[in-house]
């Protein structure tokens, strides 16, 4: 079974609005990562947050991590049409090295 589950499965917003995606996971983690996938392409790494961190920023991206609730959120501020893509969270579980992925959120940003 997959470790992470994203919510919502699909999100449609207008350009300029903020987009929030959530990820829940099941077991203790070493780190949690967010990836983006444009249609028909490979995944691209966005941001990594360690288990002892609570918040991290990168440009228009803000990631939070709540290890007590086993959840993370990705916020994209001032979205653009070019942000249209699928977004995945992935976890590195404690004691393991493999990354396991959730099923993703499909984001559509309308111009």
Partner 1 sequence: NAGVTQTPKFQVLKTGQSMTLQCAQDMNHEYMSWYRQDPGMGLRLIHYSVGAGITDQGEVPNGYNVSRSTTEDFPLRLLSAAPSQTSVYFCASSYVSKREKTGELFFGEGSRLTVL
Shortest Å, Cβ 67 to partner 1: 15
Backbone angles phi and psi of 27, in degrees to 5: -120, 170
Cβ at position 88, least distance to partner 1 in Å? 6
Choice between 3 and 79, CB closer to partner 1: 3
Is the separation of the CB atoms in 95 and 44 below 8 Å? Answer: no
Instruction: Kindly list the distances between the CA atom of residue 102 and the CA atoms of 10, 48, 49, 91, in Å, as whole numbers in the listed order.
Output: 13, 15, 16, 9
Is position 10 an interface residue for partner 1 (rule: CB under 8 A)? no
| Span 26-85, contacts to partner 1 by CB under 8 A | 30-31, 33, 35, 40-45, 48, 50
Q: How far is CA 21 from CA 9, 61, 98, in A?
A: 9, 11, 23
In the set 49, 76, 92, 107, which binds partner 1 (CB under 8 A)? 92
Q: Are 57 and 49 in contact (CB under 8 A)?
A: no
What is the binding site for partner 1 (CB under 8 A)?
Answer: 1-2, 4, 30-31, 33, 35, 40-45, 48, 50, 88, 90, 92, 96-104
């Amino acid at each position: 079974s997959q470790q992470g589950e994203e919510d919502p499965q699909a999100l449609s917003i207008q350009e300029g609005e903020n987009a929030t995606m959530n990820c829940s996971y099941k077991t203790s983690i070493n780190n949690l990562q967010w990836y983006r996938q444009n249609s028909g392409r490979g995944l691209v790494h966005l941001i990594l947050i360690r288990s002892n961190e609570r918040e991290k920023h990168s440009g228009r991206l803000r990631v939070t991590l709540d290890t007590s609730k086993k959840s993370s959120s990705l916020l994209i501020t001032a979205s653009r049409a070019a942000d249209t893509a699928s977004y995945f969270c992935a976890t590195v579980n404690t004691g393991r090295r493999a990354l396991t992925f959730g099923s993703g959120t499909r984001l559509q940003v309308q111009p």
